[in-house]
Amino acid sequence: MSAAKGDTKGCPRCNCCFIVPPVVLREHSRDATLDRRIRTKLQDTYLEVTRLKLLREASRVAALNEQPQSMLGAPGAVQPQQQVFDCQHRQSLPGIPIAAPASAADAAIKTTYTVTARVDDFYRQVLGRNSIDNRGIDIASSVHYRMNFDNAFWNGQQMVYGDGDGQLFSEFYKSPDVIGHELTHGVTQYESGLSYEGESGALNESISDVFGAVFNQWVNNWAVTETKGWLIGAGIMGQRALANGKTCLRDMLEPAADHCLSAQPASYEHFDPTADVHINSGIPNRAFAALAQAAGGNAWDRALKVWYAVCTGGDLHSNATFVDFAQLTIAKSEELYEREFASFARQAWTSVQLPI
C-alpha cells in the first residue's frame, strides 16, 4: 500500500520520542525539595526535549529524502549489526564509534549493546521480525548524551541514552523495558506511522510500553502474574525517587498508582484531550495488561501477537483512535485465536470504559 500524501509511514526520519514526558521534567524542575543542581539538570533536559520536539516538523520534511542505503538491509537480511557510539557527554550525534562494544569496560556501552541485541532476538524469535524495519536495518545507539541528561529517546534514526541526574533518575540504559520501548518507536515509524498527538500519539506511546514491558517479561521469563513485569522504568529510578516511594515511571496494571513517578488515567472516562501523549497512554496500557492477564501464561504467546498483527497488518492508519485500535484488536483476536480470546479482548477494552 502506498503512503498517502503527507503521510510519514515508513519514513526513516519522522519522530523524536522520549521515555520521560516533558511534563514530568518540568514539574520536578520546580520541586524546591530537590537539590538545585538536580533541578537545573531537569530544566536543561526539559529545554532540550522541547528543542527536539520543535524539530519534528522539520524532520517530516527531511523524511522525504531517502535514508542512506548503507543503513538499510535487504529483505531477508540475516543479521542486523548493533552499533554503539559514545557521545562523551556532548550533544553531537552519533558520537565516537566503539569498535568492540560487547567487551567494553564501560557498563553503559556494554549493556546497551547486549540488551539491544536481545531486543533484536525478541523481535526475530517471538514476532518473526527482522530488526526495526523488518529488512535488517542496523541498529545504532548513542550513550552518555550530554551531561546528566534525564531521558532516553528514539530520534527517527537511532537510540540515544542519557546518564540521569543521579537522584531522580539513574542511567537510562539500565532498564531493559526502556530500551525495548524506544526501539519499538522505530517499528511503529516503519509500520503504521502513528502520529504523535491526540489518541494516535497515546497509542504510539502505549505500543512502545507494551512491547518494552513484554520484552522485559520475556528476558526474565516472567508470567503475566508477575506484577513487576508491568512496570515501566523501574530500573531508572534514582535514590531520591525510590526514597519517595516512586518505584517506576509508569505501571501498566495500575496506571494511576501513587508509586508511579508519572501517574496516568486508568480509564477512558478520565481521558484528557489536552494531556501529553505519555499520560493518556495509560488507558490502552491497562487494556493490554487486562487482556494478557485474562489469557494467562506468557504475554508474548498470544496477547502480544495480536497487538503486533494489528500494528503491522496495514489497517491501522496514522490517525487511529482508541476505538479504531480496540476494534482491530478484537477482530484480530478472533482471526488468530478462538472466539473466547476475542471476548477477553472486548472485556479488556470495556474494563477501561472505552465505548466500543
User: Does 226 qualify as catalytic in the annotation?
Assistant: no
Residue partners of 110: CB distance under 8 A and separation at least 6: 101, 102, 103, 104
Q: Where are the domains of the chain?
A: 17-190, 198-350
pLDDT the model gives residue 67: 43
DSSP state string for 87-152: -TT-S-SS-EEPS-GGG-SSHHHHHHHHHHHHHHHHHHHHH---STTSS---EEEEES-TTT---E
Identify the pLDDT of residue 79: 78
CATH number of 198-350: 1.10.390.10
Q: Is 182 a catalytic residue?
A: yes
Residue tagged active-site, from 48, 171, 182, 254: 182
Q: Beta strands 159-161 and 139-143: pairing type?
A: parallel
Q: Where are the beta strands (DSSP E) in the chain?
A: 17-18, 82-86, 96-97, 139-143, 152-154, 159-161, 231-232, 250-251
Q: 17-190: which CATH topology? A: Elastase; domain 1 (3.10.170)
- pLDDT tens by residue, 292-318: 999 999 999 999 999 999 999 999 999
Instruction: Report pLDDT for 4.
Output: 35
pLDDT tens, position by position, 51-104: 988 876 565 545 544 444 334 444 455 578 999 999 999 999 999 999 999 999
Q: What percent of the chain has pLDDT over 70?
A: 89
Q: Taking the model in full, what pTM does it have?
A: 0.91
Tell me how many degrees the CA angle 224-226-232 measures, rounded to the nearest 5.
Answer: 90
Catalytic residue among 28, 144, 181, 278: 278
Is 70 exceeded by the pLDDT of residue 165? yes
Q: C-alpha grid cell for residue 227?
A: 506484577
Dihedral angle of Cα 115, 117, 123, 124, to the nearest 10 degrees: -150
